[in-house]
Amino acid sequence: MSGFEIERKFLVHKDKDYKSRAYAYSYIKQGYIAAKRATVRVRVRDDRAYLTIKGPSTDGGLKRYEFEKEISLDEARHLFELCEPGVVEKTRYLVRSGDHIVEVDEFAGDNEGLVLAEIELGAEDEAFELPDFIGMEVTGDVRFYNKQLRRFPYVIWRGTLPPEYQ
């Protein structure tokens, strides 16, 4: 897959149920390879692996170029050895909302307690419905970029969020 990714990101209310509404979930582990102008990510999602390259964000973090290719688990294992220290681990829940799928990421490790939701759009001005567990929008807030969560995990700054998200 390659092309532009248009994505909005939101915090999830801690007291709202999203798991019972999910039609699927998967475990994700990802690492990052040092790069200056792009984000290079190695991801294992359940029993499949991917190499992803993302360009810089534009439009306040809403849009960026993305290239993704499936690789073997053995290739991913070797690429993880080239990654910068630290990994991001999370369980991703898929929830249908109108014509879209909301991906809810429940983080583990040093990011435990953080729950984010993302929705991918076909156009920047595309209308969409959000379930009631969705809270404050954080699109473009670099603290919530997975690459940033690897370097500055949620455990360091969790107290900066409103109580309904902690």
Q: What are 109's strand-pairing partners?
A: none
Is 32 noted as a catalytic residue in this protein?
yes
Which two tokens mark 129? Answer: 């419905």
Kind plus residue range of the DSSP H or E element containing 76: helix 73-80
Question: Which of 159, 134, 112, 158 has its CA nearest to residue 12?
Answer: 134
Question: Which of 28, 1, 53, 49 has its CA nearest to residue 118?
Answer: 28
Burial 43-65 (b: 16+ CB within 10 A, else e): bbeeeebbbbbbeebeeebbbbe
Distance, C-alpha 110 to centroid of its chain: 15
Catalytic residue chosen out of the listed positions 18, 23, 25, 32: 32
Q: Among all residues, which ones are annotated catalytic?
A: 32
